[in-house]
Structure 1
Amino acid sequence: MAPTSPPPTMSKSDRRNNDVKQLLFTLRDPVLLVSVLSVLIVVVLFIIIPMVMILKESILGTGHFSLIAYLKIAKSSFDRGVIWDTIKLGITVAVLGTAVAFLFAYATIYLKIAHKPLFKVLSILPMISPPFVISLATILLFGRSGLISYNIFGVRNDIYGFWGLALTQVLSFFPVGYLMLTNLLQNIDPSIEEAAQALGASQRKVFLTVTLPLMLPGIANAALLIFIQSLADFGNAIVIGGNFTTLAVQIYQQGIGSYDMVGATALAVVLLMISMLAFYLQNSVVGKKSYITVTGKAAKQRVLIANKGVTIPVYTICMIISVFVIAMYILVPYGAFVTLWGVNYSFTLRWIKYVLTIGRRYIMDSLTLSLFAAPIAGLLGIVSAFLIVRKNFLGKRFMEASILMAIALPGTVLGLGYIYTYNTPPLILTGTSIILVVALVIRSMPVGTRSGIAALKQIDPSIEEAASICGAGSQKVFTSITVPLIRPVIFSSLVYAFIRGMTLVSTIIFLVSARWQMLTVAIMNQVDQGLYGAANAYCLVLIILVGLVMLVMSTLLKKMGVNINEGY
């Protein structure tokens, strides 16, 4: 029998004894020992040490202990402006993105309206597409040579800047809030709302006094997650930010462009502190509040709202946003076959040929590295979730905190940390495919861990305990009992890891080399040069590759009898 977690009232000596018991128990189970050590080594090498190295460089980069880099930030009106602009953008995107997410979630769960499947698809589409698609499409629609701004209205509009970036981030990140709020709305017991209506409350009163209060912690949770996503965003900011600079972009420009690595690491620490503070609020303050009704599960079928005073306005707003998103995703493939955007709209295969010849190595490198990283990320995510939920061992809290903290790590900060950590002996990995695979794994693994933890907590541990009592070891229990029970989560984690690998840009922008390149970096380079046709063609290829792999995996899973959308 595994040792139990120490109660909060346990004395120091008892805690010490319990730690010793946990360590001895771990040592007696070789499979458990190897699993724990493997995950801890990955966490320490590729999450903790890079963060420590960034902090070290920011205060010791001049050859001795100095806080001059932080003093420069405090004295620089430009740096203070960048920090404030980043926070201001994050707050704006969080508010607008959460509002859009709530409208879509409320429409699909509560209202009797048409085109719900369309709203659901469009709500998750930005999550599985390249990070540049929406910002690139926004430029093509509303830029200086935009299809709408110039060709229809004859205006040389400047979409670059705060509002252009805010628009693209809202459309890119609201699906995060949508998925969360949809689950919460589904779990509200409709009998509570019906009881309020039976007592004479109007639909508006029920919404304001029952539904909304139950949702407030969840809405705040979604807003904080979107805020964190906005802080860490590099792809949209570098493409459409223009003169509006965010911390993620400034770190890259100061480190790579100006070769001021001490200043870049200091800014990275500032961004990391803001992200960690937001993550702490989301995870510790808001995330632990209850936003579910008494039973936690709907006890009866919900009667959908058909009041036209509610359905028509909500449906209209959702449809306008949907049409806008559809236009963006149609525009990118169309732009791949246009000779010169804004000047010559004649059909051409020039950009497709360009991508399939000159850009073929970017495609193959991205596909190879993503396919290699996906199973590693999926395996590490599920194993770490199993260890955190089902096992007690020395260092468990450290493992859990470190992995979940990695969700909030901005990609530019992590990439910068890898440069400092693995560019010198004893472990030189920069310039190799290994460091790129590591980056892809670390950016995907925490999500798999979080999903695995949620799934395992809904499975009665007595099933696994029965197998252990019958003599099965940790490996046998995990492979024969646990894995079959959480197959949907395992495969959805694999799909997510592959998509993340194909679309990641912020971390790998520091790590690509002459030998190994990535498709997203190639897209960014084409946008920088103003070659929108080539950028569109790259995006089209990327969308097709992701779609094909998802289709193949979905077909295989159906043949295996696995539904990644089913409950755990």
Structure 2
Amino acid sequence: MLKKINLFDSIVIGLIIISFILFVLYPFVAVFNYGYKGELFSELITNITSYSHLLLNTVKVATATTVVTVFISVAVSLYYFIGTSKFKKIIVLIFMISMISPPFVTSLSYINLFGRRGLISYNLLKLNYDPYGFFGIVSMQSVTHISINVLLLVGFLKGIDKGVINSARSLGANTNRIILDILLPLMRPVIKVVILLTFLRSMADFATPAIIGGKYNVLATEGYLSFIAEGNISKAVVMNLIILIPSLLIFLIFFKSFRNTTLGSKNVGVLEANIKKSGIIYYISLIVTVVIVLMLASLYSAIIISAFSTMEYGKLIFTLQNFIDANDYITDVFVRSVIYSLIAGLISSVVGHVLQYYIYIRNVKVLKMIDFVATLPYILPGTFFGLGYVLAFNSYPLKLTGTALIVILNLVFKQMPFATKIGYSSISQVSEDQLKSVRDLGGSRFNEIKDVVFPMSYEGFYISFINGFTATMTTIGSIIFLIYPSQKVATIVMFDVIESGKYDIGSVIAFYIIIICLVINISYYLIVNRRR
């Protein structure tokens, strides 16, 4: 039932509507408007064949990455649900590190381990292995996406009614039948979400192909180079418009599953299911899990080794010189990165919860449209969203280009899809009786939010904040076109030094980013458990 709207409500609702229209919908429209006025659509149709190979390469990479990632993610999540506790703790630790790392840091490790002068390929096996191209891109994108996908799947499995599994066991069902007849059918909606998120992220990823793609070009990288190297914004817009077409198609196919699936906590604990550890599917899941954990452990160990060592006369030598050399590249960078991340995490969390309060509890129907607008950054490639900001805010009265504000706003609204989903999960747990108690005691709508909504949804708020902070610390795509030299953040600097071949310095910056995010995540874990 719709409650009476007072002045406070009107101000908050108005600010929410204006903010999302201005900083999400308007940049989206600005790209299409630029394409229409510049006759880029007619140019795109006329020259579509010249871009077809790039589109084909991009779709091939995204499809292969999605297939590999989904298979591995499902296998690991099934093992995590059925397997033993000791190994699960290792899985959580490795995946946590993977989630708080820049998305292209695995590419750096891949080069260090398997490049032409790699620790394994060259120094150990004496091979001159070429790690670049299609296989390298798919491998590293898959490794990058597995962690978040597994945690989404495991979070879903935690909510499965164990009575169903026990009933199946009492009827004589073995492990294979439980997996095939119960777990996989129940997991189908969240698997569709995993497919959607993996495909969209792969389509939009320009950093991984730029680092290890070699001669294998994709649309996202071509769009990035068109803007940064050539200064050709029209070509960059065309590239991103082409990326948007298959992305929108996949989103429309899987939107229902995405809308109806609740995102759970990333802080997955040890999970035990009373299922016999046997059967071909279980053992396949075990093997896949062991392989992927070893691979991730090797990749992230390589980062640490590379940060603290150098190669002299064919031997690894321990040194701190890499950290000294890195100081020239990171002066003020990490302070700026942490400040931006704190602001983005805090604002997106607050706005996401307040938006869902007015939708779920106050039933303000107009905000349901805004909730859909908030999902657009999920659909849009990061570079598309960044280009939208360049085109929307480069002239008065909304001239923001060249300022720190445009970067912060982009980071805040890029995190809104996750913040609003977590906000919905949290707000749905708030009791109407508690809100009535506040009103019976003379409290205002502000008191409802301050004294009931936020305290009752503190865990969801923390999850949203940590995700916003971590995602901002490790992001690159949406802000690559917005960052001026005086405003560079850690991931941009890291990407620059890796592209220029300074892998040791890149490893040091990656090490710093992981440590900072790890400290924040551990602090969050301790705070939540203390509140409990």
- Fold equivalence (TM over 0.5): yes
Q: For 2:231, which of 232, 237, 259 is the aligned residue?
A: 259
Counterpart-to-counterpart distance in 1, 2:486 and 2:211 = 25
Match of 1:462 in 2: 433
| 410-419 or 170-179, larger mean C-alpha shift | 170-179
1:67 and 2:67 aligned: no
Could you tell me how far 1:449 is from its partner in structure 2? 1.1
In the TM superposition, 1:339-350 aligns within 5 A as 339-340=310-311, 343=314, 345-350=316-321
Match of 1:36 in 2: 13
Maintained 8 Å contact 2:344/2:469: yes
Q: For 2:124, which of 152, 155, 161 is the aligned residue?
A: 152
Maintained 8 Å contact 1:185/1:215: yes
Match of 2:197 in 1: 225
* Residue 471 to residue 205, structure 1, CA distance change in 2 (3 Å): same
Maintained 8 Å contact 1:169/1:236: yes
In the TM superposition, 1:15-34 aligns within 5 A as 25-26=4-5, 29-34=6-11
Match of 1:409 in 2: 380
* Residue 342 to residue 537, structure 1, CA distance change in 2 (3 Å): farther
SS of 1:151's equivalent in the other structure is: helix
Q: For 1:104, which of 42, 52, 76 is the aligned residue?
A: 76
Could you tell me how far 1:309 is from its partner in structure 2? 5.4
Could you tell me how far 1:446 is from its partner in structure 2? 2.2
Could you tell me how far 1:275 is from its partner in structure 2? 2.1
Maintained 8 Å contact 2:322/2:505: yes
* Residue 315 to residue 75, structure 1, CA distance change in 2 (3 Å): closer
1:422 and 2:393 aligned: yes
* Residue 550 to residue 180, structure 1, CA distance change in 2 (3 Å): closer
* Residue 197 to residue 73, structure 1, CA distance change in 2 (3 Å): farther
| 37-46 or 178-187, larger mean C-alpha shift | 178-187
Letter in 1 for 2:509: Y
For structure 2, the residue ranges without an aligned partner over 5 or more in a row are: 263-271
1:317 and 2:288 aligned: yes
Residue-by-residue CA offset, 1:104-159 (whole Å, 9 max, x unaligned): 21111123464111112223332211223211101111111111111122222111
Counterpart-to-counterpart distance in 1, 2:222 and 2:531 = 44
Q: For 2:414, which of 443, 459, 477 is the aligned residue?
A: 443
Residue-by-residue CA offset, 1:69-128 (whole Å, 9 max, x unaligned): 32244131xx11111221221121111111111112111112346411111222333221
Residue-by-residue CA offset, 1:434-455 (whole Å, 9 max, x unaligned): 1111121112222111101022
Q: For 2:332, which of 361, 371, 374 is the aligned residue?
A: 361
Counterpart-to-counterpart distance in 1, 2:317 and 2:23 = 49
Q: For 1:338, which of 309, 320, 323 is the aligned residue?
A: 309
SS of 2:122's equivalent in the other structure is: coil
Counterpart-to-counterpart distance in 2, 1:329 and 1:285 = 33
Task: Give the % identical residues.
Answer: 24
Match of 2:516 in 1: 545
Q: For 1:491, which of 452, 455, 462 is the aligned residue?
A: 462
Match of 2:148 in 1: 176
Could you tell me how far 1:465 is from its partner in structure 2? 3.4
Residue-by-residue CA offset, 1:409-428 (whole Å, 9 max, x unaligned): 21100111111111111121
Counterpart-to-counterpart distance in 2, 1:377 and 1:286 = 20
| 271-280 or 96-105, larger mean C-alpha shift | 271-280
Match of 1:46 in 2: 23
In the TM superposition, 1:483-522 aligns within 5 A as 483-522=454-493
Letter in 1 for 2:458: R
* Residue 31 to residue 142, structure 1, CA distance change in 2 (3 Å): same
Could you tell me how far 1:49 is from its partner in structure 2? 0.9
Maintained 8 Å contact 1:378/1:448: yes
Counterpart-to-counterpart distance in 1, 2:302 and 2:14 = 49
**Which structure has the bigger radius of gyration?**
1
Could you tell me how far 1:431 is from its partner in structure 2? 1.3
Counterpart-to-counterpart distance in 1, 2:274 and 2:307 = 46
Counterpart-to-counterpart distance in 2, 1:414 and 1:117 = 37
Letter in 2 for 1:159: P
Counterpart-to-counterpart distance in 1, 2:336 and 2:345 = 14
| 66-75 or 142-151, larger mean C-alpha shift | 66-75
In the TM superposition, 1:235-314 aligns within 5 A as 235-284=207-256, 288=260, 302-307=273-278, 311-314=282-285
Match of 2:183 in 1: 211
Counterpart-to-counterpart distance in 1, 2:388 and 2:476 = 15
Could you tell me how far 1:552 is from its partner in structure 2? 4.0
Could you tell me how far 1:339 is from its partner in structure 2? 2.6
Residue-by-residue CA offset, 1:510-542 (whole Å, 9 max, x unaligned): 111132111111111111111111111111111
Letter in 2 for 1:40: I
Could you tell me how far 1:556 is from its partner in structure 2? 4.7
Counterpart-to-counterpart distance in 2, 1:285 and 1:556 = 32
Counterpart-to-counterpart distance in 2, 1:144 and 1:411 = 31
Letter in 1 for 2:34: E
Match of 2:265 in 1: none
Counterpart-to-counterpart distance in 2, 1:342 and 1:377 = 50
Maintained 8 Å contact 2:329/2:493: no
Maintained 8 Å contact 2:377/2:385: no
Counterpart-to-counterpart distance in 1, 2:117 and 2:208 = 19
Could you tell me how far 1:307 is from its partner in structure 2? 2.4
1:400 and 2:371 aligned: yes
Counterpart-to-counterpart distance in 1, 2:313 and 2:506 = 15
* Residue 302 to residue 314, structure 1, CA distance change in 2 (3 Å): closer
SS of 1:148's equivalent in the other structure is: helix
Could you tell me how far 1:229 is from its partner in structure 2? 1.8
1:56 and 2:33 aligned: yes
Maintained 8 Å contact 2:133/2:216: yes
For structure 1, the residue ranges without an aligned partner over 5 or more in a row are: 4-24, 291-300, 564-568
Q: Which gives a bigger RCO, structure 1 or 2 (Cα 8 Å, sep 6+)?
A: 2
Counterpart-to-counterpart distance in 2, 1:376 and 1:33 = 20
> Alpha carbon RMSD of aligned pairs, Å?
2.4
Match of 1:2 in 2: 2
Counterpart-to-counterpart distance in 1, 2:363 and 2:78 = 40
Match of 2:531 in 1: 562
* Residue 269 to residue 122, structure 1, CA distance change in 2 (3 Å): same
Counterpart-to-counterpart distance in 2, 1:374 and 1:210 = 37
Maintained 8 Å contact 1:69/1:262: no
SS of 2:202's equivalent in the other structure is: helix
SS of 1:339's equivalent in the other structure is: strand
Aligned length: 523
SS of 1:150's equivalent in the other structure is: helix
Counterpart-to-counterpart distance in 2, 1:82 and 1:380 = 38
Could you tell me how far 1:370 is from its partner in structure 2? 1.9
| 274-283 or 490-499, larger mean C-alpha shift | 274-283
SS of 2:123's equivalent in the other structure is: coil
Letter in 2 for 1:323: L
Match of 1:117 in 2: 89
Q: What stretches of structure 1 move > 6 A for 4+ residues in a row?
A: none
Could you tell me how far 1:184 is from its partner in structure 2? 2.5
Could you tell me how far 1:240 is from its partner in structure 2? 1.7
* Residue 159 to residue 312, structure 1, CA distance change in 2 (3 Å): same
Residue-by-residue CA offset, 1:198-218 (whole Å, 9 max, x unaligned): 444443233323332222233
Letter in 2 for 1:71: I
Counterpart-to-counterpart distance in 2, 1:265 and 1:430 = 17
Maintained 8 Å contact 2:394/2:401: yes
* Residue 387 to residue 244, structure 1, CA distance change in 2 (3 Å): farther
